[in-house]
Amino acid sequence: MKPFLLALLIGAASAFAFAPVGLWPLMPLALAALCELVWRSKSLKQSLAVGWGFGLGQFVVGLNWIATAFTYQAAMPAWLGWVAVVLLSLYLAVYPALAAGLAWRFKGEERAALLLALAGAWPLTEYLRGTMFTGFPWNPVAAAGVDVTRLLVPTIGTYGASAAVVALGGCLWMMARKNPIPLIAYLPVALPLILFGGAASWGPSDANGQIRVVQPNIGQEDKWRDGFSEEAARRLAVLSMKPAGQRPRLLLWPEAAITDPLEDARTDEHQALAQFERTRAAALVGPGEYLLTGGLAVFSKDGHWVDGAANSIFVLGQGGRVVGRYDKAHLVPYGEYLPMRPVLSAIGLSRLAPGDIDFASGPGPRTIDLGDPWGKVGFQLCYEIIFSGQVVDRRNRPDFIFNPSNDAWFGRWGPPQHLAQAQLRAAEEGIPVIRSTPTGISAVIGASGKVETALPWRTAGVIDDRLPLSARPTLFARFGNIIPLLLGFALLLSGIVLGRTRR
């Protein structure tokens, strides 16, 4: 079998290491096989093709949930979703190809040099994937086996943990070549990182105030349907109330839980309708309580025409008072704005989410102080949580992060993958993450990255829990992605030196 096709199959198999399948040992085994294929490559071109095939297989299988999103766009055929998955994967696979090419280029005659170079190049290329062209760092290698890798990320971050997984795969490859020395050398390095990282993320055993996370089980097929807003409001209200009229102290609703604008700068009539929506939602909170909900803000310079909109999180107090608002900063192409709108609109393509107005991006992470007993809350809307090192305001560290999302159009594979990446962010920062989604998976994630409580996919329900306390700032929280980048460069340089020394 040609190396490219073999790499394609191995990459496809490695995708089953991610959630929801979760066969995480497949990842280091697949990376071990990738090392062998790169080692056998006869040229730089062949090694690039091997890395590209590996990435293509992994992304096409792992990102299959993107195709599901297209089934909710009536203007486009469903099969176009798979075309989008393949096209996106063709681009994303460039980054594993670069890592494989660098490893081959500097390996010399020494297998250990290839191991070091690949382990060093991988976090660097994953970082590039998360930053280039707005970035799409979905499913880093560290997201496979998150209950293990979350112990590493407080120290070396997600990209550094990916390097550790690649290095483990390389060690297995060398063991298969009857050379156990790399694995023996790997363990004294990895174990202190796990122990130190885990300890850095463990918070105190007690907890803050009472919260209620609401999951109404409203599917994408119903969410924007004409006349459904009343039924949605009813479901949210029923789930938000406790027996005998008792109220939870802090309510947390999903992204765009309220589909009509909660702030509208147009006419008096539009502003009155927005006030009605806020008042109706806030009727569920009492004195000193808050509702945190996803909603829309509409902008208008002249008070009549819409100039733009924001996908937002509103902090509502009693009577519908707006305590604060966070506008999503990292918008989803084709979901929240249409790139090259004049061209794509002319050929019949439109956004996957309803609406002709593109959302405007907000200024970035924001922290709002809710006072006792919850403290400061930071916000990340939907897939913003996947961007390592970009989820908190470093100048005003929050006590917890609220991450409402709408995973209802991401099929069966998207929601658990999204949850795994939220776990990595919690562990990196030492800050609990609270997720509320319309169809699941909603969860309370502790500061160590462990899921404390969760609601299953496609289930209506609530989570009543105490808000976990944050931990001390982790090493990653202090220095950010400079740590995994330095680690990557150090490993790559070590591979280069070893390869040239033994040449």
| Per annotation, catalytic residue among 107, 263, 277, 328 | 328
Q: How many secondary structure helices (H) and strands (E) does the chain include?
A: 17, 13
- For 498, phi then psi, to 5°, come to -65, -45
The strand pair at 400-404 and 433-436 is best described as: parallel
Nearest to 502 by CA among 108, 42, 104: 108
Alpha-carbon distance of 273 to 268, in angstroms, equals 9
Assess whether 110 carries a catalytic annotation: no
| Per annotation, catalytic residue among 223, 382, 428, 429 | 382
Tokens of 245: 């009229």
Angle 160-92-111 from CA coordinates, rounded to 5°? 50
Peptide bond preceding 254 in cis form (omega within 30 of 0): no
Assess whether 242 carries a catalytic annotation: no
Nearest to 59 by CA among 29, 23, 84, 36: 84
Nearest to 53 by CA among 97, 105, 115, 109: 97
DSSP-assigned beta bridge partners for residue 207? 468
Alpha-carbon distance of 212 to 237, in angstroms, equals 12
Alpha-carbon distance of 288 to 371, in angstroms, equals 9
Look at the block and give the residue holding tokens 């202190």.
Answer: 192
Q: Hey, what's the torsion of the CAs at 485, 489, 490, 492, to 10 degrees?
A: 140
| Per annotation, catalytic residue among 36, 255, 263, 289 | 255
Assess whether 178 carries a catalytic annotation: no
| Cβ-based neighbours of 146, under 8 Å, separated by 6 or more | 19, 420, 423, 424, 449
Catalytic residues: 255, 328, 382
